[in-house]
Amino acid sequence: MAPLLDHKIGDAMLSSLPWRSKSNLLTCSLVLLIYLTSHPSLAKPSSLKEITDGNWEDILAGEWMIEFFAPWCPACQQLQPVWNEFADWGEDMGVNIAKVDVTEQPGLSGRFIITSLPTIYHCKDGVFRRYQGARTKDDLLSFIDEKKWQGIEPVSSWFGPSSFMMNTMSALFKLSMFIRRCHNYLIEHLGIPVWGSYVIFGLATLFSGLVLGLILVFIADFVFPSRRFNSPNYYQKKQTMEQARLIQQLEEEQEADGEEDDEDDEDGEQDDVWRRRRASPEGRPEEVLRKRVVGNREDQDEDS
């Protein structure tokens, strides 16, 4: 009854106004409506929050529902009206509703290991759970109101967004996005062909790997120096070993020279024997041939 009475009173007040006053009131109302629609900042602020690499730590306190989406994803586009309606209920239910554009925030995509879109996470005081239920407003509201998230196993601390592993993944995703932007800049703005961009990145990777390896070797040698070189008797032992090696080498050379001398002596003795045989009359070749001829003739005479 009260709203009906107020409506009648309002009609009575309007009917008591002159015609021009009514016209001016309607004009003012229309101008005010147009002004408000043309300035969204004066309208009711949206309850949907946007999470970036700079403020993502805000979700570690309180209760949150976060949607990871991409503008080009058809399923994300279909979910967006439902998510906006769900966000309007967030303040009444005491839960923060947020969204993350993975195309603009690649670090968060790696930090939460987003492999499919859209992906929804529930967070309660830094404990994360992945929502895998139906994507309707009623199901989302009952998930919060009835605390169905308590029946879902939370994400392991090893894979939590604030862990060392996920920080590393976030850095790698940011690096990959930076390389992609550099590749696009080289191709689109500088006019370098695609294969030229690949060659540049290949050489840069090779050079950075060499530099990093050299730095790691220096660090390892400085932190863990070799005990062999730190020994006070190392250089003395090394000098002694070198002297022993030189002495052994000289002895081997002397033995080799002695064997050659022995072989030369044996050859010399054989040559002396051969010379003496040639020098004797019986050792000459012509004498030996003559003796054979005479012996053959005597054998023939005996046979005859």
**Cβ 157 vs Cβ 127: under 8 Å:** no
Q: Does 73 qualify as catalytic in the annotation?
A: yes
Q: What is the 3-state secondary structure (H, E, C) of 5-27?
A: HHHHHHHHHHHHCCHHHHHHHHH
> Beta strand pairing status for 63-69 and 119-124?
antiparallel
> Both tokens of residue 150?
């308590």
Q: Does 28 qualify as catalytic in the annotation?
A: no
Angle subtended by helix axes 137-145 and 74-88, to nearest 10: 50
Given the residues 28, 73, 123, 182, the one annotated as active site: 73
CA 199 – CA 206 distance, rounded (Å): 11
**Cβ 133 vs Cβ 148: under 8 Å:** yes
Q: Which residues are catalytic?
A: 73, 76
